[in-house]
Amino acid sequence: MIDFFINDFINHPGIILILGGFAILFMPGNMRRITTFALPLVALLGFLAYPDELILTVNLFSYTLDPIRIDGLSWIFTLIFIIASFITAIYSLHKSDRFEQSMIAIYAGSAIGAVLAGDLLTLFIFWEISALSSAIIVWLGDGRHAQQAAMRYLLIHITSGLLLMLGSILHYQQTNSILFDAMSIDSLSGLLIFLAFGIKCAFPLLHNWLQDAYPQASPVGTVALSAFTTKLAVYCLARGYAGTESLIWIGALMTAFPIFYAVIENDLRKVLSYSLNNQLGFMVVGVGVGTELALNGTAAHAFAHILYKALLFMSMGAVLHRIGTCKATELGGLYKSMPWTTIFCLIGAMSISAFPLMSGFISKGIILYAVAEEGHWVTWLVLLFASAGVLHHSGIKVPFFSFFAHDQGLTCKEAPLNMLLAMGLTAAMCILLGVFPHVFYQWLPYSMDFHPYTFDHTITQLQLIFFSLLAFTVLFRNGWYPPEIKSTNLDFDWIYRKPLDSFTAALNNLFIFLLAIVQKFKQSSLNVLSACAYQAHGPKSPIARGASVGNMVIWVAVLLSACLIFYYF
């Protein structure tokens, strides 16, 4: 039995990363660097040693668990998670932050463990480890704001975990199975689990933890955060809720509304967080459509998106590392000091904007095609609108305001070598995916016949991109483009950071007031009681009024005399 366990779990990439992450905590400087770098590679070797299809079943008490399930869908998500952890590891090598490097490895490992989980119990355990480790990564960011954001982040993710647990228990009661397969939102258990996934996937109105926490983490922390949590949620939705129609609408909404916020946001890492939210929308729509082509699109887009989003966050992280800020109002003209970072950022920007020959073009195209195949024309128009929008804020705004725009006279050194290597590697992958899509398509869960480089697709996409660029140019040259302003823009988190906060503060005050009244009442009733007791039993009370010994003697004498008189007669 033990042999059986060890043989199957020794290759588990998630467990390798989690155990390695704990070991990193206790290692001295250089050994820690080497381990941080080597861990994802060991995890990759372990993963590749597994067969392409595998279900490991374990009976624990009366439960049947599948702690490892590898199939087309979990394979590609595990692969990209290992790649993302490798990139992040390289990106983190310039600094020697014991806790952060350790937590990132544990976080990546738990996300992989959750993807490989074939049952809800295993999923829940890894779900919670990932919530806790990622909250610590946010906490390790810069100062008080990061810590406050980490607490809000943790509260929201614990809520997600509780919903998952509650849903799983109900699911077990109804079906007598805790295996994680297709579910329905028509049952309460299905709905609860759907909501748990929805929180992690940053559904509209449940999304603010993302824009709140990600920009607060360190440059390295944000790169790690951007890769795992939300894509894990996308995977879980694809696994459990493929073809759920409401996801089409939810996803379409997700692609559209963050764009407006991204345009007026000043903190460029927050702009990227809004754009992350918008990209998730495309994947969610793919899950909602639910055909094999659409699910392939979701998997491909998640893969491509993790790479270009990490690349964009890495380039902004490098700017933050060198300049100390990521605010558009304080940046500009950095291309002179950081030419390589500029080039890598532009490659990330072109990828997210879906330029032909870049990764976004060959992944987003599948989703749009699948949506059109099913005849969802309104959704298709929304996605096209969002594609133009994403070009606008991530494709133009982020590189333009940091590296070009107005020369602020900033000078600094180019990013550290390890950061450049991580960015270079990621940029190369973004281009390779775009240039050789058919090699990449073979890794997708289902076989499909999709050709991204048709004449129509290429030309129409170029038209969309260049006319969006034209719109930006016209607006900017005429002074109609909104200037960057140092500001906070109210989003849904306002509800729980202001009115709900005031409400709980008021509730707290009410409790304090009521408690004071109760205390007062208790005190005054005690006072009355003790006054009564004092009156009855105090030194001057009738009861306490003691008869003197003399009186007693007289009365005894009187009684005895009376007895004597009685006997005499």
Q: Which residues bind other proteins (CB under 8 A)?
A: 259-261, 263-264, 333, 335, 372-373, 375, 377, 380, 384-385, 388-389, 391-392, 404, 407, 455-456, 459-475, 477, 480-482, 485-491, 497
User: Which residue, 229, 234, 202, 230, is CA-closest to 110?
Assistant: 229
> Cβ distance 72 to 8 under 8 Å?
no
Rounded CA-CA distance 308/394 in Å is 11
Q: Tell me which H or E stretch contains 66.
A: strand 63-70
Nearest distance, CB of residue 391 and other proteins, angstroms: 8
Output the smallest distance, CB 261 to other proteins, in A.
Answer: 8
SS3 186: coil
Tell me how far, at minimum, the Cβ of 330 lies from other proteins, in Å: 12
Using alpha carbons, select from 255, 424, 452, 485 the residue that is nearest to residue 355. 452
Instruction: Compare residues 186 and 456 and give the one whose CB is closer to other proteins.
Output: 456
- Which residues on neighbouring strands pair with residue 59, listed in sequence order? 64
DSSP 120-148: HHHHHHHHHHHHHHHHHHHHTSSHHHHHH
Our CB check for other proteins shows the closer of 53 and 373 to be: 373
Residue type, position 61, single letter: F
Residue 398 DSSP SS3: helix
C-beta closer to other proteins: residue 155 or 462: 462
Compute the distance between CA of residue 540 and CA of residue 561 in angstroms, rounded to an integer.
32
| Cβ closest to other proteins, residue 167 vs residue 399 | 399
C-beta of 83 vs 254, nearer to other proteins: 254
Compute, in degrees rounded to 10, the torsion defined by CA atoms 443, 344, 314, 298. Answer: -30
Q: Which is nearer to other proteins, 176 or 473 (CB)?
A: 473
193 or 358: CB nearest other proteins: 358
| Residue 383: CB minimum distance to other proteins, A | 11
- Could you tell me the smallest distance in angstroms from the CB atom of residue 494 to other proteins? 9
CB of 260 to other proteins, least distance (A): 5
Least Å distance, CB 177 to other proteins, is 40
Min dist CB 326 to other proteins, Å, is 14
How far is 116 from 198, CA to CA, in rounded Å? 19
- Taken as a whole, the chain contains a residue count of 569
Smallest separation (angstroms) from other proteins to the CB of 407: 6
Q: To the nearest whole angstrom, how small is the minimum distance from the Cβ of residue 335 to other proteins?
A: 7
Query: Which amino acid is residue 234, in one-letter code?
Result: V
Q: Which is nearer to other proteins, 82 or 465 (CB)?
A: 465
Write out the DSSP string of 422-476: HHHHHHHHHHHHHH-HHHHHTTSSS-----TT-HHHHHHHHHHHHHHHHHHHHHH
Q: Is 178 helix (H, G, I), strand (E, B) or coil?
A: coil
- The span from the CA of 450 to the CA of 435, in Å, is 15
**Dist. CA 310–CA 287, nearest whole Å:** 23
Nearest to other proteins of 125, 372 (CB atom): 372
Cβ distance to other proteins smaller for residue 153 or 440? 153
